[in-house]
Structure 1
Amino acid sequence: MALLIMTLLIAPGCGYNDIQGLDEETNAAWSEVLNQYQRRADLIPNLVNVVKGYAAHERQTLEAVTQARSQVAGIKATPELIKDPEAFKKFQAAQGDLSTALARLMVVVEKYPDLKANENYKLVRFFPTNMTAKYILKMDVKPNFTVADEKAAAQPPEVKF
């Protein structure tokens, strides 16, 4: 009887609150990631305009960056996005396309030393390279719990005595 009472008193504190707290931390961290993606998307028109003034004939690259940004802007980024695998895959693909387009733009910029010295360009360029690396390097490694066979895990084992 004493064991039963003791178990009932201890059982409620078996980690549920910890799990809820970790879930909230995860949502907050994901919101911060979404904020940085939005900031990057907001800075891209400025970057394109600065480069456009120096490299008007690099129209194809500038259009690719603008199109990739529009594609990213078309996906509503919310904390719930990570719960929908298909939507998250589209979001990741759009971000990858944008990163590729920005990388091509940086190659174009290397051809123009005057542009690299432009103060507006220096200010706008800060985010795509430094901010992304800063947040990637500061990410904490979280334990990953996976199930090898989800169908087997969905069905409880049958107990026979």
Structure 2
Amino acid sequence: MKFRAATALVPAILLAGCGLNSVPTAEEEAKAKWADVQTNYQRRADLIPNLVATVKGAAGSEGKILNDVVSARARATQVQVTGDDLTDSAKMSAFNQAQNGLTLSLQRMQEAYPQLQSQGNFTTLMSQLEGTENRIAISIRDYNGAVQAYNTRIRTFPDAVGAKIFYGAKPMTPFQAQAGADKAPTVDFGNTN
């Protein structure tokens, strides 16, 4: 009876030691890590255009308000009243109107100041870009580690036996950067010459 149990146990141990479970586990781990790489690339593809549009919108709004102030200032400085003009009601009215225009523009700028955060938006954009690139780098590193573990497992004894016989396992390809990937992508806000 003990002999039968021992003979039945030997093939089970041999099968367990030949990668029957560890090879598909390692393969699934590598596939999951690749999905993380794809997720982070998709995050970048989705995130960057939205961030750029947000920054452009904020900068455009801020630019309009600042342009209004600059224009009102220019109009206000064009109307000159000398001591001899103090009795001319038309010149005094023009001067007053120009100064009131500048005052209104400055008040609009003060009211809008909490929303004038393009500098903060640019900082957020840069932070998000850096975070996204870091996530991609980490997920690629994790994927390459999982591929290395899988490739090592299917090439080393005893797992190599089960990998070939049961699964027909082939080595996976690690992620490799394309030529030119060492150069940072260009972000264009549409204001370059």
Normalising to structure 1: TM-score of the pair? 0.39
Normalising to structure 2: TM-score of the pair? 0.34
Specify the structure having the higher radius of gyration (Cα).
Answer: 2
